[in-house]
Structure 1
Amino acid sequence: MARTVLVAYGSTYGSTAELARTVGAVLGEAGLTAEVRAAGEVKDLSLYDAVVLGGALYAGRWQRDARRFARRHRRGLSRRPLWLFSSGPLDSSASRRDLPPPPSVQRAARRLGAQGHVTFGGCLDERARGRVARMIVRSGKGGDFRDFEAVSAWAGGIARELSSPVDTEA
């Protein structure tokens, strides 16, 4: 049975969108149908058998579109396999160890019955807009800390789970 997976993301500067596209590519290579879309554009979950939702972290909170998506689609998300990811630390900590999600994302994962959550390193560079983002970059704390190999490995695990035969009762 072909499975269709929505990979939705909340991204302000585009780096979380790139992570979501990587997840979608890995799922597609595994034979699943993956549709990667900005969280704010998704109106209906009925076409999807599973969902991966990612959000950029800002001050310990998911990006607004990811938060709204989780609230708006709460019922539909709780009825299908769901995985969550966050991107954000502007250092290598996410590559060195598993980072727990911030409390608000932890609550959403629990409420929605998510299969799992992972935090990946973030990216903030000189293209960033906004006073705070520019201040962070000027302070030397910006950079690209995304680990695409780790993203691919995580997405591969999701693909294996979704591709494994479903137990049916006789």
Structure 2
Amino acid sequence: MPDSVLVAYGTTNGSTARIAETIAEVLRRDGLRAEALPARTVGSVAPYVAVVVGGGLYAGRWQKDARRFVRRHEHDLAERPLWLFSSGPLDPSASERDIPPVPGVKKAMQVLDAREHVTFGGCLEEGAKGWVARMILRSGKGGDFRDFPAIEAWAARVGSQLVGVAGRT
């Protein structure tokens, strides 16, 4: 998809994928060409004029596929408009205040000159993979804390900044 926007994401249980798909959907609704893809499947960012990268937060770090994507494509990401998002707090805190990026994401923001980072609430529900996820669920701390109106508003803001950068459909 030449002249389009890539929304790459790292997810373990699918919550971050749904956020990325929502962001791409809003960008398309605003007239941009956009696609959401798992970060591990992206071979090159060369066809894209801008990139949004998101990762689920696990123990204070971005999900491994998001971390690897940023390292693997560091040079190309630094040459195009870039936004980052995280998903993870399993409480309403992300809807109540700005949550700064975790240290690894903050470093990536600086190295790549990312335009913005936002943290959205996460989602952890029955059937989630991983020992830690199961422990969290057993302790009663799971749930869906994604704020889709806030996600859509942020995506629209990204889209407004991209007008004239990415090709229109």
State if a TM-score over 0.5 links the two structures: yes
Contact 1:3 1:32 in 2 (8 A): no
Q: Distance in 2 between matches of 1:85 and 1:130?
A: 22
TM-score by length of 2: 0.95
Contact 1:51 1:82 in 2 (8 A): yes
Q: Distance in 1 between matches of 2:112 and 2:4?
A: 19
Contact 2:12 2:129 in 1 (8 A): no
Contact 1:3 1:162 in 2 (8 A): no
Q: Could you say which residue in structure 2 is the equivalent of 1:61?
A: 61
Determine if the alignment matches structure 1 residue 42 to structure 2 residue 25: no
| 1:95-126 deviations in Å (ceiling 9; x for gaps) | 00000011111001110110000000000011
Instruction: Give the number of the structure with larger relative contact order, counting CA–CA contacts within 8 Å between residues 6 or more apart.
Output: 2
Q: How does 1:90-105 map to 2 (within 5 A)?
A: 90-105=90-105
Q: Which has the larger radius of gyration?
A: 1
User: 3-state DSSP class of the match of 1:117?
Assistant: strand
Q: Could you say which residue in structure 2 is the equivalent of 1:115?
A: 115
Q: Which runs of 5+ in 2 are unaligned?
A: none
Aligned residue type for 1:115:
R
Q: Distance in 1 between matches of 2:165 and 2:108?
A: 28
Contact 1:120 1:147 in 2 (8 A): yes
TM-score by length of 1: 0.94
Q: Could you say which residue in structure 2 is the equivalent of 1:4?
A: 4
Question: Which runs of structure 1 show a deviation greater than 6 angstroms over 4 or more consecutive aligned residues?
Answer: none
Q: Distance in 2 between matches of 1:12 and 1:75?
A: 26
Aligned residues: 165
**Percent of aligned positions with the same letter in both sequences?**
60
| 1:106-151 deviations in Å (ceiling 9; x for gaps) | 0011101100000000000112122211110010110000000000
Return the offset for 1:87: 0.1
